[in-house]
Amino acid sequence: MSTVIPIRAETSGCTDVVPLVERGQREVFCGLTGIIWLHRKIQDAFFLVVGSRTCAHLIQSAAGVMIFAEPRFGTAIIDERDLAGLADVHEELDRVVGQLLARRPDIRLLFLVGSCPSEVIKLDLSRAAERQNQIHHPKVRVLNYSGSGIETTFTQGEDACLAAMVPGLPASTDTAPALMVVGTLADVVEDQMRSLFERMGLQVNFFPPRNSQAMPVVGPNTRYLLAQPFLADTARALQSRGAQHLAAPFPLGVEGTTAWLQAAATEFAVPPEVFEEATAAPRQRAEKALAVQRQMLQGQRIFFFPDSQLEIPLARFVHRELSMDLVEVGTPYLHRQHMAAELALMPTGTRISEGQDVDLQLDRCIADAPDLVVCGLGLANPLEAQGITTKWAIELVFTPIQGYEQAADLAGLFSRPLKRRLKLAA
């Protein structure tokens, strides 16, 4: 890159932003956490973490009140015998996987999920998965990916998981362009999106699918839209199967959703009047609902701590559609290309930070005294105790927030803490 920043009339928003890059203590989840929503999505999959008691404890703490008769995730806890080489790790894994599949005959797809301990001791989980595949073929397919903290941050666990599935997707034999939406969406959102696309005359496949037996096909005819911003590796894997990315902002808020749908409509040459007819009603409904929220939120100053990579699209939404002022937008990782459409819509001069040194960031946050801080649960109550209103970030990953019908719900997630503060102060 040239050191001289060219002055261009058409330069918009934050396209050329130089983020504040920080390294230090990070108050973030590791990629294992992705299991919590992924296993709800793919209903016949089991996620077996190969790790330590810490990993098991993490997932359990993060899953919190999600209580199932039988959760479809678990941990093969490495113990001292495995470390001392007293037990052959692969034989141990055979035993544990056998035990698991005997208990859960309904499982058709098993993920061996790498963790920090398994990465550090260089346990070759890809070889293990291959071996398990041979043992349990054809009933169960076994894949592997890493959700370790040393390699992945929170939502990147989903990226790693989806990327691991891409090579096994059936090849498309069609030549006519086909649409694929990539990234986990709540079922209700997925159904809405499907119906919107159908009203435009488009057939769409969702990835990941709800069932491992219904994997979407992929090939050079595939055009994919990213529904989530954290899918760098998945996109690369799809690209290597010939699929082409449709650049778009993410479907958050009315503007984001419209632009996202428009990207597909443009690619598939949907006539403008058809697009208009398909989207007009939900768009107007959402705008009306948002107007109510805007009264509460406009002019409020918001600060995002890094968490999920959803921060930039969310900041774009709250700024443009709810008239909030952006103090700092932190992201664990900034993917320039996937974020390009978003950055162009961001107000010029926004302070964007990548990575984290949590103590320094807290200093900045407190000095800036924002009206609302989006942060993790480890920081939320301590900040509230200092008189700063917070919105805990993880809820933004678990709640259906994409699409028109959810736009006001999404805004509500930001307005509720402020409303509460007003109520309790009164």
Q: Which residues bind another protein (CB under 8 A)?
A: 24-33, 50, 52-54, 56-58, 60-62, 64-65, 67, 69-71, 73-80, 82-83, 87, 89, 92-93, 95-96, 99-100, 103-105, 116-117, 119-121, 148-151, 153, 359, 376-382, 384-385
Which whole-number Å values give the CA distances from 260 to 71, 107, 341, in the listed order?
Answer: 34, 34, 10
Q: Contact at 8 Å (CB) between 142 and 129?
A: yes
Nearer to another protein, 150 or 280 (CB): 150
Min dist. Cβ of residue 208 to another protein (A): 22
Q: How far is the CB of 396 from another protein (least distance, A)?
A: 16
Could you tell me the strand order of the sheet in which 20-22 lies?
Answer: 20-22, 352-355, 325-331, 301-304, 372-375, 390-392
When the beta carbons of 32 and 45 are compared against another protein, the nearer one is: 32
Closest to another protein by CB, 93 or 181: 93
CB of 146 to another protein, least distance (A): 9
Is residue 234 within 8 A of residue 162, CB to CB? The reply is yes
* Smallest gap from residue 56 Cβ to another protein (A): 5
Q: In what order do the strands lie in the sheet with 244-245?
A: 204-207, 178-182, 222-226, 244-245
Element (H, E) at 82: helix 80-83
* 346 in Cβ contact with 315 (< 8 Å): yes
* Strands, E assignment, 342-414: 352-355, 372-375, 390-392
Return d(Cα 419, Cα 17) in angstroms, integer.
33
Closest approach of Cβ 178 to another protein, in Å?
36
DSSP-derived secondary structure for 312-352: HHHHHHHHHTT-PEEEEEEES---TTTTHHHHHHSPTT--E
Query: 163 vs 322, which CB is nearer to another protein?
Result: 163
Question: Of 377 and 418, which has the nearer Cβ to another protein?
Answer: 377
DSSP count for the chain of H helices, then E strands:
17, 14
Query: Residue 372 in contact with residue 417, Cβ under 8 Å?
Result: yes
* Residue closer to another protein (CB basis): 38 or 322: 38
Task: Give the residue with the Cβ less far from another protein, 64 or 168.
Answer: 64
Exposure string (b/e) for 163-191, b if CB count within 10 Å is 16 or more?
bbbbeebeebeeeeebbbbbbbbbeebbe
Nearer residue to another protein within complex by CB, 226 or 393: 393
Joined together, the tokens standing for residue 306 give 């890094």
Between CA 245 and CA 223 the distance in angstroms is: 6
Question: Among residues 255, 368, 378, 237, which one has the least CA distance to residue 306?
Answer: 378
Cβ(257)–Cβ(402) under 8 Å?
Answer: yes
**Closer CB to another protein, residue 69 or residue 367?**
69
Nearest distance, CB of residue 298 and another protein, angstroms? 30
The least distance separating another protein from the CB of residue 74, rounded to whole angstroms, comes to: 5
CA–CA distances in Å: residue 225 to residues 182, 204, 253:
6, 10, 16
Residue whose C-alpha is closest to residue 38's, from 138, 137, 148, 161 = 161
By beta-carbon proximity to another protein, the closer residue of 75 and 300 is 75
Closest CB to another protein among residues 57, 336: 57
Q: Smallest gap, in angstroms, from Cβ of residue 62 to another protein?
A: 6
Q: How far is the CB of 102 from another protein (least distance, A)?
A: 8
Contact of 217 with 170, CB cutoff 8 Å: yes
Q: Min. distance of Cβ 339 from another protein in angstroms?
A: 21
Supply the minimum distance, in Å, between the C-beta of residue 22 and another protein. 11
